[in-house]
Amino acid sequence: MSETMGIETAGKSPLSPELLAKMDAYWRAANYLSVGQIYLKDNPLLERPLTLDDVKPRLLGHWGTTPGLNFLYVHWNRLIRERDLNMLYVIGPGHGGPGIVANTYLEGSYSEIYPHIEQNKDGIKRLFRQFSWPYGIPSHVAPETPGSIHEGGELGYSLVHAYGAAYDNPSLIVACVVGDGEAETGPLATSWHSNKFLNPATDGAVLPILHLNGYKIANPTILARIPHAELEDLMRGYGYEPFTLEGDDPAVMHQQAAAVFDTMLDRIAAIQKAAREEGSTARPAWPMLIMRTPKGWTGPKFVDGKPVEGTWRAHQVPLDQIFEKPEHLALLEEWMRSYKPEELFDEKGHFRADLADIAPKGRLRMGMNPHANGGLLLKPLNVPSFREFAVKIEGRGQQDVESTRVLGHLLHAVMQANMEQKNFRVFGPDETASNRLQDVITGTGKEWMAETLPVDENLSQTGRVMEILSEHMCQGWYEGYLLTGRHGFFSCYEAFIHIVDSMVNQHAKWLKTTREIPWRKPIASLNYLLSSLVWRQDHNGFSHQDPGFIDHLMNKKADVVRIYLPPDANTLLSVADHCLRSRNYINLIVAGKQPAPQWLTIDEAVAHCTTGLGVWPWASNDEGGPEVVMACCGDVPTLETLAAVTLLRAKVPDLRIRVVNVVDLMALQPTSEHPHGLPDEDFDALFPAGTPVVFAFHGYPWLIHRLTYRRHNHENIHVRGYKEEGTTTTPFDMCVLNNIDRFQLALDAIKRVARLKPHAGEAEQWYSEAIQRHKLYVAENGDDLPEIKNWRWPRS
């Protein structure tokens, strides 16, 4: 292989022969422990010849990426020691878990956190055995791994997480390995642009390393097969200063790696000095490294006559037929002995002291960096009283307010109250203002390190509102920010939040797992506001209509998710206050941004949100027990339900109607399924067995059935919701198209109440005349009928 070093690093040899030898031995130790984890359950120090009894029955894990990760770890250790760095690692190819476990073991963090994995022969045996073993540890850089904020199971998010961790952490350096396969993913490709949002004066630094081992599972990688100059140009185009490290001779590579890292760290220091001490406001070209080394470096070169090292065949377990082919067992032993374990561990299995000595100590060890256990550093968010922003209710439903704009007032106050402690950011894919949260921008601005023009508004190099047209970046930055112990809020168009479905899956898994890991401290919840909702896509139509993120989140563990559909501004304030203060959840708030009627006083809102659902007595006339329950969840369904109630009152004045509004969707489930679940007795009291329920739901109707199928009255629950009918039409026509409109709901009630059955035909007639009239009017006038548009709940 040729070497492609920068001019400043060529010929430099920063490592003394002694240190070089120790670093190489340290690297061999990490490689040895990595291979041992993949293969062995016994004979950890190879004190006797390897036999099949020593080998695990199922060979699981990934070797290919691991030696490269181990190489980097030992070099970062040197940098930490020599420069006293506060360094966090983020490993994109998280399938190289054994390497990071090995390194955190060698530096001592692992045994401190997991005392049964002792620093001796027994400990090494247990370390090997637990890996990818039932009830042991996962194969990835998982929540169980000390020092990790990133599992790297689903590829694509390493760099965005690294940047999220670096924001507002001026002393932190986040070393981030990006797999060259991972670099092909959409999120990773965009993540490079995070440097336009990183202020060298007030944020930390990210040290990206493109791990160019040339291959993925079964294919070459794109970036390894374009001319090197083109790759460097790509990185320059992203605004980085690329450095390259290339080769496979360990001694040469150690020396060159040390030289290139010294130069890169000097660059970072110079950039930070210019910004912090010399007042530079220029957007710097941060250094990044292209590390071109063989996949499966130092592993078997050939297996069964086929090349393995330096190819895609090294990806998982290079020698996988140990039990079938005796020569593979011999190759394994030869491979493991090539690391010379007898030089690395003494006869008791202690890592040799002179080698252990080159690792950082205490909290400087990457396995012990408190930023990786963000809950340790979490400062409570200052949340001013939300009551100050309450909408004054002057008659129910008499005034129209944009609910999310009111939330914007609260978020602005929260932002201002935390400007000093710099631990709150708001994220959005170019929609903060569109979702009517623009107040939050005042007094902070939107982070922007790129060029600005006079036409721009509110861009700032120290802005705390993060806007980029990438839901992936918003999600990833926010996760990185939360995982390192800070707070935030993410607003998004409802339909497009699906773009991060998969990312939120991974975050939910992280939260679920960390709940069971005692040393992981709770972090702030991930809060979503979905606005620009399905029912009000006046500008955009069908492409912008999808309420399915609710269903998606519903699949997650009950311990982790909370879903709220506040029907007005005051309930939204109460819910948001609760979410901002909560820990370890994913909170989903669905609330409209269009002017809409307001129903509850702030005190009523708080009481309603506390129970999560309840009867609205002022809208009900159910003395003696209801004949029908009109249930609603979501702002537009609530409006249509209340309008349906007025229609029913006009048509069947003596009908006993109960209106139940649901804010907290989880309350519909039994207590056995969710901690917010309403006890059966309470559910039965609200929805008495045998009483028909007409349920208007914001999202896909089947979800309500899924949540209530075990309830006594389930067979009488009749749900209306979104059923993929939509276009650019009037707000009320959207309801009509999906049969959630007031006429339909009223008709449903009449058809379901037994004593009204004789009138069903007449009611059908009334319904179709009303809808006919509506359709003709909207087609002719392009707007809703005045009596629909201007409908108000009757003043009492």
The residues that touch ligand TPP, with contacts defined as CB under 6 A, are: 64-65, 93, 95, 153-156, 179-182, 185, 211, 213, 215-217, 221, 295, 315
Cβ closer to ligand TPP: 315 or 409?
315
Which listed option, Mg ion, ligand TPP, none, makes contact with residue 156 (CB within 5 to 8 Å by class)? ligand TPP
Q: Which is nearer to ligand TPP, 346 or 501 (CB)?
A: 501
Report the C-alpha gap between 158 and 191 in whole angstroms: 9
- Our finding on whether 181 is near Mg ion (CB under 5 A) is yes
When CB distances are held under 5 to 8 angstroms depending on the partner's kind, the choice from ligand TPP, Mg ion, none that residue 24 binds is none
**Minimum distance from CB of 127 to Mg ion (Å)?**
26
From the list Mg ion, ligand TPP, none, pick the one residue 784 interacts with, judged by a Cβ distance below 5 to 8 Å according to partner type: none
How many residues at the interface with Mg ion, by CB under 5 A? 4
Would you say 189 or 760 has its CB closer to Mg ion? 189
- Hey, what's the torsion of the CAs at 189, 190, 192, 193, to 10 degrees? 160
Which helix (H) or strand (E) segment is 596 a member of? strand 595-597
Question: Taking the complex as a whole, how short is the minimal distance between the CB of residue 311 and Mg ion, in angstroms?
Answer: 11
Residue of 213, 209, 245 whose CA lies nearest to 9: 245
Tell me how far apart the terminal alpha carbons of the chain are, to the nearest angstrom.
85
Closer Cβ to ligand TPP, 86 or 213, answer by number = 213
Identity of the residue, 506 or 744, whose beta carbon is nearer to ligand TPP in the bound complex = 506
Tokens read off for 144? 């169980």
Q: Specify the amino acid at residue 731.
A: P
CA 721 – CA 735 distance, rounded (Å): 9
∠ CA 313-103-82, nearest 5°, is 120
Q: Could you tell me the smallest distance in angstroms from the CB atom of residue 713 to ligand TPP?
A: 43
Beginning with the edge strand found earlier in the chain, give each strand of the sheet holding 465-467 in spatial order: 459-460, 446-447, 465-467, 424-428, 487-493, 526-531, 586-590, 561-564
> 774 is in the binding site of which of Mg ion, ligand TPP, none (Cβ under 5 to 8 A by kind)?
none
Report what 95 binds from Mg ion, ligand TPP, none; CB cut-off 5-8 Å by kind.
Answer: ligand TPP
Tokens, residue 296: 């499966």
CB of 312 to Mg ion, least distance (A): 8
In the complex with ligand TPP, which residue's Cβ is closer, 292 or 674?
292
726 touches Mg ion (CB under 5 A): no
Q: Which amino acid is at 163?
A: Y
CA–CA distance, 495 with 792 (Å, rounded to integer): 29
User: 505 or 582, CB closer to ligand TPP?
Assistant: 505
Cα separation of 747 and 756, whole Å? 10
CB of 145 to Mg ion, least distance (A): 20
Residue ranges of alpha helices (H) inside 601-691 are: 602-611, 635-651, 680-686
484 binds Mg ion, rule: CB under 5 A: no
Q: Of 209-228, which residues contact Mg ion (CB under 5 A)?
A: 213
Q: Which does 430 bind (CB under 5 to 8 A by kind): Mg ion, ligand TPP, none?
A: none
DSSP secondary structure code for residue 177 in this structure: E
Radius of gyration over every alpha carbon of the chain, rounded to an integer in angstroms: 30
CB 572 within 8 A of CB 527: no
**What is the DSSP code (8-state) at residue 402?**
E
Window of 95-103, 177-185, 258-266, 363-371 that interacts with Mg ion by CB under 5 A = 177-185
14 binds Mg ion (CB under 5 A): no
Partner touching 155 among Mg ion, ligand TPP, none, CB below 5 to 8 Å by kind: ligand TPP
H or E segment to which residue 286 belongs: strand 286-292
Q: How far is the CB of 530 from Mg ion (least distance, A)?
A: 36
Determine the number of helices (DSSP H) and then strands (DSSP E) in the chain: 25, 22
Give min distance, CB of 686 to Mg ion, in A.
56
- Report if residue 180 touches Mg ion, rule: CB under 5 A: yes
Stretch that binds Mg ion, among 125-133, 176-184, 524-532, 589-597 (CB under 5 A): 176-184
**Could you tell me the smallest distance in angstroms from the CB atom of residue 472 to ligand TPP?**
12
- In angstroms, what is the minimal distance from the CB of 295 to Mg ion? 6
Reading the block at residue 454, the tokens are 């006079």
E strand intervals along 494-525: none
- Looking at beta carbons only, is 284 or 318 nearer to Mg ion? 318
* Residue matched to tokens 């008709």: 747
Residues in touch with Mg ion (CB under 5 A): 179-181, 213
